[in-house]
Amino acid sequence: MSTAQTTSPNPLAMTSFAWLQLLLLGAIWGGSFFFARVAVQVVPPLTLVLFRVAVAALALHVYLLNRGVRFWDYRHHAFEFAGLGLLMNVIPFSLLFIGQTVLGAGVESILNATTPIWTVVVAAILTVDEKVTINKLVGILLGIFGLVIMIGPGVLTGLGGPLWAEIAVICATLSYAFAGILAKRFKGVPPTVTSTGQMTASTLVMIPVVLIYDGVPAVTTIDTGVWLAILGLGLLSTAFAYILYFSIVRTAGATNASLVTLIVPVSAILLGTIFLDERLAAHDFMGMALIAFGLLIIDGRLMNVWQKRQKV
């Protein structure tokens, strides 16, 4: 029996380029709150989800056509695209919206930030190249604790909310975890095609959902500023963001890609400070430092350098 046959797959690691992609993705998804804040004042949430995925799907199809990529050539992935669209968009978006109706933003942010933990558990069970490590668990817990500190007293808002709402948010994070594992099945598919497929499937699912619950969207009543926010949400925070996400999953694994949920709140707070004149408090800096330290532990390079120096 050859060595290649007996050796288990190498664990997926974060390269410097993957870290840059992850930080950029966190910044982009943090910025999505700005676009959504503008649009949701006029557009019902479920209709906004439809606009978001439809704009992204259309833009990605145009991009593929301009690049000479035939999306039809990947039709044998139709079932996987549909599953990915449900797990990445339709199910979690709906559950998060339901949770938001009765839970405080602080509690929901904390629950959403547990996504990497669920992804570690699911990946350890369903994959052979993403096993649980002490570095990952310690780093993720530090990141969540840092997020709790950043939110501060606001985390207490909504603690009295119903259990079903908290379970809904947890189920949304589980959906993201399973979506990350499913995304690993597309290793031979370009991230742009994977993004296009799941966005197209999400659009087809959301059309009847919106017609049933919101009715036909009143597009003529939406002003230019709101449409610009919708375009920003669809093009930048969805189409381009998912290309980055699936690129990270393909090269670094689902667990590492899920770490973006620790970065998004930091990005949103920093963008609010820059563009909305919001002020950073001492607990914000402390929380960000803990999140950064947690990510450094997950990366493992500093620990490796320190261990090597200890041996010298």
Nearest to 174 by CA among 254, 87, 100: 87
pLDDT for position 8 = 43
Separation between Cα atoms, residue 255 and residue 176, nearest integer Å:
11
pLDDT for position 85 = 92
Each residue's pLDDT tens digit, 53-76: 999 999 999 999 999 999 999 989
Residue type, 197: G
Separation between Cα atoms, residue 269 and residue 282, nearest integer Å:
13
pLDDT for position 6 = 43
Each residue's pLDDT tens digit, 204-245: 999 999 999 899 988 888 999 999 999 999 999 899 998 998
- Say whether pLDDT at 7 is over 60: no
**Averaged pLDDT for residues 296-304:** 65
* pLDDT, averaged across the chain: 79
pLDDT for position 286 = 80
Quote the pTM value.
Answer: 0.75
Nearest to 81 by CA among 192, 198, 193: 198
For the ranges 71-85, 138-152, 241-255, the lowest mean pLDDT is seen at: 138-152
Each residue's pLDDT tens digit, 239-285: 999 899 888 888 888 778 878 877 877 777 777 677 666 666 677 77
pLDDT for position 230 = 92
Separation between Cα atoms, residue 278 and residue 162, nearest integer Å:
31
